[in-house]
Structure 1
Amino acid sequence: MIKSEKPPVDPELKRRIDELIKYKGGGYNPEAVSDIIESALKLMTDVKDSGDVKVIQTAVRELRYAFKLFAPYAHKRKVTIFGSARTQPTKVEYQQAVEFGKKIADAGFMVITGAGGGIMHAGHEGAGLENSFGANIRLPWEQGANPVIQDDKKLITFKYFFTRKLIFIRHSDAIALFPGGFGTMDEGYEALTLMQTGKSQLMPLVLIDRPGGTYWKTWDKHIREHLLRDQLISPDDLNLYQITDDTDQAVKIISRFYRNFVSTRFVKELFVIRLKHAPSASAIEAMNEDFADIIVGPKIATIEATPEERADEDMIDLPRIAFGFNRRDYGRLRQLIDVLNAL
């Protein structure tokens, strides 16, 4: 694949952009901001349609504001709850979502929902205002925010689904799906696709049924009898989600994922996994044998923080392992994380 090279910046334009950044007082990531300004100026000649320009304008504004809002809470893990806005408080699923919201907050997580009614309201009701974020969407019939979050500073209202969905995934450390309609299916499939392709961090994806319910079991049957049987996904992709009808079990699945695992990062050819506790030499030997199918190049080994991580001050004090990952089998990688958490 041919990669297009970025043309050199006009020295005079760069000088003026640098002056503008200095005039605004400087701040974080000046090189990236300079590039954004340069790209924005190119819109005047590259994009004629005003509607297209407004999409870019609104998307940048929404993302900037959302990242600013979430930044003070970056130290706390968050669980996004998806489910139907039509689920009434009398329904078992609503009561389960309230229970789950409370239990996951008690386990130390914050909760993000779409800020509407039904399951979204229930999740906020259980977690409480202090532990809740709302990512609302403007719809033709004006979906209002639920009473829990409607007057809180942690509520954002998006114009576009794509910016809203990016924020959901970007700031989630786990996803819990209750029964829902097209939107719930869309959000669940997107989360699976992003993890399957390595476009997001691996995280727990828990599908929560009502006790004895078959909503997600029927969905899982479709996945196995059509996608898997017809070889449209691999068997290991089934490791990317788990189904339960017990809110306590759902909380355990999420909490246990972070028992030892912290995060991952690619550094050149190395796939780095940051941990709370380093595995023993014998455990590493066993993992190299058991997961040889996903290793390309360097085998699994404990390492110090890489120069790139040190430059970014990226969790440099944590123990870590690294290896050459084939960048394809993320379902198997999820199994490796489960092994690391079980040590």
Structure 2
Amino acid sequence: MEKGLTINHTAATDSWRMFHIMAEFVEGFDALSGIGPAVSIFGSSRVGPDSPIYAKAEEIARLLVRNGFAVITGGGPGVMEAANKGAAEEGGRSIGLRIELSRNEVHNVYSNLTLSFRYFFVRKFMFIKYAMAYVILPGGYGTMDECFEALNLIVTQKSRTFPMIFVGRDYWEGLINWIKRVPFRTGTLGPSDTEVFKIIDEPQQVVNTIKKVVNE
């Protein structure tokens, strides 16, 4: 595992790091280029199998597979495990894009295609490149980092527009209301900047929304 960097030692390792980054991109392209239509599902690693959030993630994944989509997650526990489990048990492509962390991160056993990344930005690129939609269940900083980067890429036209669906109105509504209210008042966001995402709670409606946009 690569430790934190200091100015004094980065120059000596930059060439090695560049080739490692390139290798991660090549491995990701080779492994994921043939997966077909896919949806990335995000959410907390800290929810257990008894949580309603876990059950909802699993149900959404099952419905996605029944409708011809592969499921991509971060390969960890919690929501990621639930989504990989639902996809795998439904007989679909269940993909886990794991990240190497300094802490002892637990990975789930339900992905039938697993890739491991050292660099967050390479991993996030794979989520965006190969997903036709994002489904975002309740989560913390990692979940918000992934969804807000995608929102920014869409708004700045660095990425194609694709459905971004927040699942869990009680969890997300306060944040969404703040986005729609405060940044508009200060002029830091425009009216069209919130048109790229929706809040939907029903799993079947989530899948129907994705299918409608994909088929347009």
TM-score (norm 1): 0.58
Please name the residue that 1:216 is paired with: 172
Matching of residues 257-272 of structure 1 within 5 Å: 257-260=213-216
Matching of residues 88-167 of structure 1 within 5 Å: 88-128=48-88, 130-149=92-111, 152=112, 154-167=113-126
Question: Following TM superposition, by how much is the alpha carbon of 1:144 offset from its aligned partner in structure 2, in angstroms?
Answer: 3.5
Q: Does 1:180 align with 2:136?
A: no
Give the one of 54, 71, 76 matched to 2:33.
71
Question: Following TM superposition, by how much is the alpha carbon of 1:50 offset from its aligned partner in structure 2, in angstroms?
Answer: 2.3
Cα deviation digits, residues 40-59 of structure 1 (max 9, x gap): xxxxxxxx812222221111
Question: Following TM superposition, by how much is the alpha carbon of 1:227 offset from its aligned partner in structure 2, in angstroms?
Answer: 1.5
Q: Is the 8 A contact 2:65 2:92 kept in 1?
A: no
Provide the C-alpha distance between the structure 1 equivalents of 2:160 and 2:107, rounded to a whole number of angstroms. Answer: 28
Aligned residue pairs total 205
Question: Following TM superposition, by how much is the alpha carbon of 1:206 offset from its aligned partner in structure 2, in angstroms?
Answer: 0.4
Provide the C-alpha distance between the structure 2 equivalents of 1:241 and 1:202, rounded to a whole number of angstroms. Answer: 10
Q: Structure 1 pair 142/61, CA: closer, same or farther in 2 (3 Å)?
A: farther
User: Helix, strand or coil: the match of 1:94?
Assistant: helix
User: Helix, strand or coil: the match of 1:88?
Assistant: coil
Give the one of 188, 194, 199 matched to 2:158.
199
Question: Following TM superposition, by how much is the alpha carbon of 1:233 offset from its aligned partner in structure 2, in angstroms?
Answer: 0.9
Cα deviation digits, residues 78-98 of structure 1 (max 9, x gap): 000010000111111110000
Listed as ranges, the gaps of 5+ residues in structure 1 are 1-47, 261-343
Letter in 2 for 1:197: T
Matching of residues 36-51 of structure 1 within 5 Å: 49-51=11-13
User: Helix, strand or coil: the match of 1:203?
Assistant: coil
Question: Following TM superposition, by how much is the alpha carbon of 1:145 offset from its aligned partner in structure 2, in angstroms?
Answer: 2.3
Question: Following TM superposition, by how much is the alpha carbon of 1:72 offset from its aligned partner in structure 2, in angstroms?
Answer: 2.5
Letter in 2 for 1:62: E
Matching of residues 243-254 of structure 1 within 5 Å: 243-254=199-210
Provide the C-alpha distance between the structure 2 equivalents of 1:163 and 1:54, rounded to a whole number of angstroms. Answer: 16
Provide the C-alpha distance between the structure 2 equivalents of 1:55 and 1:222, rounded to a whole number of angstroms. Answer: 39
Cα deviation digits, residues 161-219 of structure 1 (max 9, x gap): 0110011111111000000000011011001001001111111000001xxx4111111
Please name the residue that 1:83 is paired with: 43
User: Helix, strand or coil: the match of 2:154?
Assistant: helix
Please name the residue that 1:304 is paired with: none
Question: Following TM superposition, by how much is the alpha carbon of 1:71 offset from its aligned partner in structure 2, in angstroms?
Answer: 2.1
Letter in 2 for 1:115: G
Give the one of 49, 52, 62 matched to 2:24.
62
Provide the C-alpha distance between the structure 2 equivalents of 1:186 and 1:97, rounded to a whole number of angstroms. Answer: 19
Please name the residue that 1:240 is paired with: 196
Letter in 1 for 2:134: I
Provide the C-alpha distance between the structure 1 equivalents of 2:170 and 2:14, rounded to a whole number of angstroms. Answer: 43
Q: Which has the larger radius of gyration?
A: 1
User: Helix, strand or coil: the match of 2:34?
Assistant: helix
Q: Structure 1 pair 252/121, CA: closer, same or farther in 2 (3 Å)?
A: same
Provide the C-alpha distance between the structure 2 equivalents of 1:122 and 1:67, rounded to a whole number of angstroms. Answer: 25
Listed as ranges, the gaps of 5+ residues in structure 2 are 1-9
Please name the residue that 1:318 is paired with: none
Question: Following TM superposition, by how much is the alpha carbon of 1:142 offset from its aligned partner in structure 2, in angstroms?
Answer: 3.2
Please name the residue that 2:149 is paired with: 190
Provide the C-alpha distance between the structure 2 equivalents of 1:88 and 1:228, rounded to a whole number of angstroms. Answer: 37
Question: Following TM superposition, by how much is the alpha carbon of 1:234 offset from its aligned partner in structure 2, in angstroms?
Answer: 0.8
Q: Is the 8 A contact 2:132 2:214 kept in 1?
A: no
Question: Following TM superposition, by how much is the alpha carbon of 1:130 offset from its aligned partner in structure 2, in angstroms?
Answer: 3.6
Question: Following TM superposition, by how much is the alpha carbon of 1:237 offset from its aligned partner in structure 2, in angstroms?
Answer: 1.2
Provide the C-alpha distance between the structure 1 equivalents of 2:149 and 2:24, rounded to a whole number of angstroms. Answer: 20
Where relative contact order (Cα < 8 A, 6+ residues apart) is larger, the structure is 2
How big is the alpha-carbon RMSD for the aligned residues of Structure 1 and Structure 2? 1.3
Provide the C-alpha distance between the structure 2 equivalents of 1:220 and 1:65, rounded to a whole number of angstroms. Answer: 36
